[in-house]
Amino acid sequence: MTPLDNQQLFLDSAREWLKTSVPERWRQERGALSEDEIVEIRHEWDRQLFAGGYSGLAIPTMYGGQGMGLREEVLFHEAAAQAHAPEGIGRIGKILTVPTLVAHGSEEQRAKYIPGIMAGTEVWCQAFSEPGAGSDLANVAAFARKTEGGYLVTGQKIWTSFAQYAERAILLARTSHTDPRYRNLSFFLLDMKQPGITLRTIRQISDTSHFSEVFMDSAFVADSDRVGEEGEGWNIAMTTLTSERGGVEAITRYVEVRGDLDTLMRCCATSSDIDTEVKQLDTRLELVRWQVMKALDYVEEDLEFFRRTCMLKIMWSELWQEVTQLAVSLNCRAHQEHWRNQYLETRAVSIYSGSNEIQRNIIGDRVLGLPR
């Protein structure tokens, strides 16, 4: 059997599994579910993925993953999105924490934390952004003061997705007032359920509230929960952020934009005036998928893979905003509520995981080598 035959077999059985496993309630009544019900289904979905053998497809088996490649992971995410599967609430753990621990964590940290993430029993959040440190992430001010056996962390984080459901956070905090920028930060694994943590939920423009402000007042982190050495936090965070903007996210969003664009083409875009515009959106969207699949040929070559994936976030997020904007402007009666929600939800896609302006700076700097 060739690798292609194996991939097809894998995909066929994944599609079969998805057909019978995606919760009927999610498929049929998603729009009518409360936020709590959605969270419960997303929680349960993580456990189902694990039981079905689809959790951590690209994670080595020694850490509780399936030991396959990123291609299988991407193909599965595409099939799952096409089957209208929920997104697991554990995605930050899987997409951010696990790759970071595999690259930089100690054996003890990997053994302690990865199995819970794989099994869907521990939810993680990402406590990086602060009121004064978003695009300028190196400006993080939350301070981790050395104490016996660990650190006491004091400061504020903001926009922390899923903080209210999370057992733990990956945390970027300052550990020195004197070391130079980029060498004064450290990377920690923070227990979110301790008394030193207070949350304040933020309500979004779309009326959902999936993220929070996180206040840390002498929150304790043990030495054994510092990833890497003191002062290495910036470099470790770069591994986390590169994972966040990669192919798995892009293929999932590709399918979501595909769904919206198909709805637009089928029901709303009846006028020939906008035919060309819609066709252009369609072609640009297929380019996103093509770019993801092409990048997978270079998965073993770090720099080339980075070059080929770093524009994906800009491509799919701008496209999605254009699709929802066009849909709203057409005032399609049949899907008015859907488009109103999608229009509001997609305002955030060019901001999260690092804004598109910053991503363009990264491309200018690290891919094109443009002068500053």
Q: Whole-angstrom distance between the N-terminal and C-terminal Cα of the chain?
A: 50
Sign of dihedral through CA atoms 91, 73, 317, 296? positive
Q: Which is nearer to ligand FAD, 245 or 308 (CB)?
A: 245
**Residue among 192, 49, 171 at smallest CA distance from 118:** 49
Q: How many other CB atoms are found less than 10 A from the CB of residue 260?
A: 22
To the nearest whole angstrom, how small is the minimum distance from the Cβ of residue 153 to ligand FAD?
Answer: 15
The one-letter code for the residue type at 33 is: L
**CA distances for 344 relative to 205, 250, 325, 339, angstroms:** 7, 20, 10, 8
Q: Is 358 in the site for ligand FAD (CB under 6 A)?
A: yes
Torsion-angle region of residue 222: left (phi > 0), alpha (psi -120 to 50) or beta? beta
Q: Please identify which residue in 361, 362, 363, 367 interacts with ligand FAD, judged by CB under 6 A.
A: 361
List of residues 6+ apart from 60 with CB closer than 8 A: 67, 102
> Hey, which residues does 250 pair with through a beta bridge?
none
To the nearest whole angstrom, how small is the minimum distance from the Cβ of residue 359 to ligand FAD?
Answer: 9
**By rule CB under 6 A, what string of x and - marks binding of each residue 156-185 to ligand FAD?**
---xxx------------------------
Q: Is 126 in the site for ligand FAD (CB under 6 A)?
A: yes
Q: Please identify which residue in 45, 50, 113, 128 interacts with ligand FAD, judged by CB under 6 A.
A: 128
Q: Which residue is nearest to ligand FAD (CB)?
A: 134
Q: Please identify which residue in 344, 351, 363, 367 interacts with ligand FAD, judged by CB under 6 A.
A: 351
Stretch that binds ligand FAD, among 97-105, 122-130, 176-184, 335-343 (CB under 6 A): 122-130
DSSP annotation string for 234-293: HHHHHHHHHHHTSHHHHHHHHHHHHHHHHHIIIII---GGGHHHHHHHHHHHHHHHHHHH
Q: Is 129 in the site for ligand FAD (CB under 6 A)?
A: yes
Stretch that binds ligand FAD, among 256-264, 281-289, 300-308, 355-363 (CB under 6 A): 355-363
244 given a catalytic annotation:
yes
Q: Is 314 in the site for ligand FAD (CB under 6 A)?
A: no
Residue 331, classed as helix, strand or coil, is coil
Q: Please identify which residue in 6, 61, 82, 135 interacts with ligand FAD, judged by CB under 6 A.
A: 135
Q: Which of 213, 244, 256, 337 is catalytic?
A: 244
Cα–Cα distance for residue pair 259/263, rounded to 1 Å: 6
Q: Which is nearer to ligand FAD, 71 or 245 (CB)?
A: 245
Binding site for ligand FAD (CB under 6 A): 125-126, 128-129, 134-135, 159-161, 211, 348, 351-352, 354-355, 357-358, 361
What residues act catalytically?
244
